[in-house]
């Protein structure tokens, strides 16, 4: 059974129970007021017109009527009349007896100056014997009987019961009240049903639709959560789950793309030197290198190619290990300035030979950082190596500058070489990316140097980026978190 049908059934049963309780309480209230169990069954069956009086009042009225029919003279007896009046008073009713225009008897509770005038005139056919009257202030239901005394005078007996005018109004408007009440109940029921189904069924349907879309592989169907209730929370959690799923699927696809790209790049990068080596080896085998000088040249080329192949495989191996987070880091507390100064010192000799001026610009105070010495050295080497590779000026210069902020130390490796085109900047840290500046011969390289540097810096919790102006040189920056070395060697 669907939730909608269940809700409809529960609402209908609540409505039925409400109506039943309403009828029951009306019944009980009527009994409580009238004290008569049967009075409810007579309720509103033109009650006042046909039975303006209760059964006991009616019984007394019938007795008086039978006396009026058989022996009207008896009605002249004040004793008999007050005896009947007493009985009527016991049940909160009263009587009025008249002979022509003379009042023979009137119950004390009915002594009103205008009552006589308000009572209807003689109507000997007794066609209309039950009705209501209003004497101005008070409202009565009555049963009357017109008869003839032995002296041919007309007489009337009235048994009256006072009713509240409000009750009369209610009596008249009763069907309208009931109708309006039922209409309000039905309307409220319908409104509540709509409201609840809207706030529950609609989001549930959306959730179902979204789940079905996800099942069929479409992760774009957004579930809009409304409200803070449980359903709203469920929608929000579902939406979060969808977004996470979408993200991980996208990541998966990206990984897949990366993997394919990596494979094709590796095969391409390996094929080029291998083809060259193969060509030279075949040349030697076929006797093309027929002089010792030529043979030496061939062997030299093969050696260079094998060396670069070896380096490529090394870098590839390191990159894939870093990418798979399989290289352990051994962090140490180090003063960044002295670490960099040592690293630059080692390179000075080589760079001097190539006519490159290498300069370190450091702040005066020590700068404690937590680093893996070997890996950070690799980063510095890769960056300086690039500065050397892409150098196109006569006055060659590479500067390593350190600045510090509250939390971080920033290292800049700046060269005055070829620089990087703006559109290439976002890609240079991608694996196997090699910028090919137009009309420039691309120096040897694997396209892994900066990708490895990025992996290592991120492994240190830092950030790496590049700034460059084409033809003016380029700066690669990276950050390292500063630490405060404590006495026991731990960092705070």
Task: Write out the E strands in 122-224.
Answer: 130-134, 139-148, 154-163
Piece of 98-106, 164-172, 177-185, 417-425 that binds ligand ADP (CB under 6 A): 417-425
> According to the binding rule CB under 6 A, does residue 312 interact with ligand ADP?
no
What CA–CA distances, in Å, run from 157 to 19, 98, 151, 387? 42, 7, 17, 130
Q: Which of 53, 97, 356, 420 binds ligand ADP (CB under 6 A)?
A: 420
Q: Which of 418, 456, 464, 480 binds ligand ADP (CB under 6 A)?
A: 418
> According to the binding rule CB under 6 A, does residue 93 interact with ligand ADP?
no
Q: What part of residues 253-292 is at the interface with ligand ADP (CB under 6 A)?
A: none
Closest distance to ligand ADP from the beta carbon of 271 (Å): 17
> According to the binding rule CB under 6 A, does residue 358 interact with ligand ADP?
no
Task: State which H helix or E strand residue 473 sits in.
Answer: strand 473-481
Which 8-state DSSP code applies to residue 102?
E
Helices (H), 286-425: 292-323, 336-353, 373-389
> According to the binding rule CB under 6 A, does residue 435 interact with ligand ADP?
yes
Residue 362 CA neighbour count, 13 Å, CB half: 16
> According to the binding rule CB under 6 A, does residue 434 interact with ligand ADP?
yes
3-class SS of residue 106: strand
Specify which residues 368 forms β-bridges with.
335
Q: Which is nearer to ligand ADP, 203 or 473 (CB)?
A: 473
Site string for ligand ADP, 382-411 (x = CB under 6 A): ----xx-xx---------------------
Closest distance to ligand ADP from the beta carbon of 299 (Å): 26
Q: Which is nearer to ligand ADP, 381 or 402 (CB)?
A: 381
Q: Which of 449, 455, 464, 477 binds ligand ADP (CB under 6 A)?
A: 449
> According to the binding rule CB under 6 A, does residue 450 interact with ligand ADP?
yes
Residue 338 CA neighbour count, 13 Å, CB half: 8
Q: What part of residues 467-486 is at the interface with ligand ADP (CB under 6 A)?
A: 474
d(CA 362, CA 401): 6
Piece of 52-60, 176-184, 355-363, 432-440 that binds ligand ADP (CB under 6 A): 432-440
Specify which residues 103 forms β-bridges with.
98
> According to the binding rule CB under 6 A, does residue 445 interact with ligand ADP?
yes
Structural contact between residues 139 and 164, judged by C-beta atoms closer than 8 angstroms: yes
Long-range contacts, stretch 325-329, CB < 8 angstroms, 24+ apart: 327/375, 327/459, 329/372, 329/375, 329/459, 329/460
> According to the binding rule CB under 6 A, does residue 465 interact with ligand ADP?
no
Which spans of this chain sit near ligand ADP (rule: CB under 6 A)? Answer: 386-387, 389-390, 415, 417-420, 428, 433-435, 445-451, 474
């Amino acid at each position: 059974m669907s939730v909608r049908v269940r809700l409809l059934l529960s609402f209908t049963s609540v409505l039925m129970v409400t109506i039943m309780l309403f009828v029951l309480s009306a019944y009980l209230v009527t009994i409580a007021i009238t004290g008569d169990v049967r009075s409810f069954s007579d309720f509103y069956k033109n009650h006042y017109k046909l039975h303006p009086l209760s059964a006991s009042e009616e019984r007394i009225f019938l007795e008086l009527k039978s006396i009026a029919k058989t022996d009207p003279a008896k009605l002249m007896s004040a004793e008999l009349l007050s005896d009947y009046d007493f009985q009527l008073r016991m049940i909160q009713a009263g009587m009025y007896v008249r002979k022509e225009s003379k009042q023979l008897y009137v119950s004390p509770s009915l002594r009103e100056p205008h009552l006589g005038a308000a009572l209807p005139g003689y109507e000997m056919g007794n066609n209309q014997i039950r009705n209501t009257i209003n004497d101005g202030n008070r409202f009565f239901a009555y049963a009357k009987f017109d008869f003839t005394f032995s002296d041919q005078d007309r007489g009337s007996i009235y048994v009256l019961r006072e009713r509240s005018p409000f009750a009369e109004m209610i009596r008249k408007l009763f069907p309208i009240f009931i109708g309006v009440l039922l209409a309000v109940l039905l309307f409220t029921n319908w409104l509540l049903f709509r409201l609840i189904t809207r706030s529950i069924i609609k989001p549930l349907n959306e959730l179902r639709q979204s789940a079905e879309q996800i099942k069929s592989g479409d992760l774009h169907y957004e579930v809009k959560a409304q409200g803070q209730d449980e359903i709203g929370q469920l929608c929000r959690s579902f939406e979060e789950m969808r977004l996470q799923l979408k993200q991980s699927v996208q990541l998966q696809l990206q990984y897949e793309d990366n993997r394919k790209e990596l494979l094709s790049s590796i095969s391409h990068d390996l094929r080029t030197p291998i083809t060259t080596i193969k060509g030279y080896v075949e040349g030697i085998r076929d006797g093309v290198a027929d002089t010792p000088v030529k043979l030496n040249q061939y062997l030299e080329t093969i050696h260079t190619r094998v060396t670069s192949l070896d380096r490529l495989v090394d870098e590839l191996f390191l990159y894939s290990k870093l990418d798979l987070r399989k290289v352990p880091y051994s962090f140490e507390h180090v003063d960044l300035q002295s670490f960099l100064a040592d690293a630059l010192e080692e390179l000075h000799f080589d760079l001097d030979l190539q006519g490159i001026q290498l300069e370190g610009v450091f702040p005066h105070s020590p700068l404690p950082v937590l680093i893996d010495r070997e890996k950070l050295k690799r980063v510095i080497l890769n960056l300086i190596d690039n500065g050397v590779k892409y150098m196109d000026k006569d006055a060659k210069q590479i500067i390593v500058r350190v600045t510090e902020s509250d939390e971080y130390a920033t290292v800049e490796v700046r060269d005055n070489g070829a620089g990087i085109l703006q559109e290439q900047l976002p890609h240079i840290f991608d694996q196997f990316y090699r910028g090919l500046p137009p009309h420039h011969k691309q120096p040897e390289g694997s396209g892994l140097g900066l990708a490895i540097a990025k992996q290592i810096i991120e492994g240190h919790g830092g950030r790496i980026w590049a700034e460059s102006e084409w033809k003016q040189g380029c700066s690669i920056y990276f950050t390292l978190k500063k630490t405060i070395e404590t006495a026991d060697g731990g960092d705070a």
